[in-house]
A = this chain, B = another copy of it.
């Protein structure tokens, strides 16, 4: 098995690379290192079955030629930043929707027919059903990020129907754990290193979110690849719990032994398009025998431990 992994130098991507290599697969990583981190591939580079291509998914020609000989694609390259979509609307369109089209066309040219796609719970917008199942009512998009990922899902599904592709689409909650490179745990940890006496928090702290530990996420992906064999396989990926931002703040401060003043910007959401309550119904994934082994709190503490041990990650942004 030769896996082609776009965004393979990223947080989730590089963790997936290590797992695929440990399964004895050959792995080609395709990454432009715009947010990918070379150090995350240090272990992979020592494996004989590993190949690295520095390239952009918007470079359709290089993408297609690099995919020659591969059996399966994990398409993880993306603009993964839900928050700043309105600052540059074209970024989500290009890096998520058009990039996914390029991946699908490269697959067609190389007769590769299996694609794993990292989508997001953001495609549900502000669902009327919580916890939100995969067949929730037809969603209304609230972010450019969600809209661009939904567009990617739709393209992949149409290729499955039109060209006989098989796909596994995963709608993630936020992922935490080792190699975590951005998000609220990162921001809060970085703030508290700079000024332990106070913490600036977007919104009122009552936004409810769900988080999944990265190794649980990778376990789920490989479980679904093995056990779900429909042409189109769509799975929510999260934990069966959610927390408030305030819970997360408490866990972080307890771990660090700090008692900062919390300064809220106010309002029930952190930014335009922020969803004040994300909680996915993951029973479909559970039905395959998968369950997360780590709680949200444990995932966040492992993230903090990683950031403490790798302070160089904090300096990258």
In-complex Cβ contact of A162 among B86, B97, B158, B162 (8 A): B86
Q: CB of A105 within 8 A of chain B? A: yes
Number of copies: 2
How far is it, in angstroms, between the C-alpha of A44 and the C-alpha of B134 when the chains are bound?
47
Q: A102-142: contact bitstring with B at CB < 8 Å (1 yes, 0 no)? A: 00110000000000000000001100100000111111111
For A90, the chain B residues whose CB sits under 8 A away are: 101, 105
CA distance A135 to B101 in the complex (A): 27
> Total interface residues on A, using CB and 8 Å?
42
Q: Does A17 contact B (CB under 8 A)?
A: no
Cβ A155 vs Cβ B162 within 8 A: no
**Known contacts A97-B97, A137-B135, A137-B137: does B125 contact A143 (CB below 8 Å)?**
no
Main secondary structure of the interface of A (DSSP, over half): helix
Q: Which residues of B contact A124 (CB under 8 A)?
A: 138
Q: Which residue of B lies closest to A132 (CB)?
A: B138
Cβ 8 A contact of A154, one of B135, B150, B157, B232: B150
Point out the residues of chain B lying under 8 angstroms from A101, CB to CB. Answer: 89-90, 93
Kindly state the separation between the CA atoms of A97 and B99 in the bound complex, as whole angstroms.
13
**At the interface, yes or no: A10 with Cβ under 8 Å from chain B?**
no
In the assembled complex, A272 has its CB within 8 A of some CB on chain B: yes
B-chain residues with CB within 8 Å of residue A135 when the two chains form the complex: 128, 137-138
Would A154 and B158 count as touching, CB distance under 8 A? Answer: no
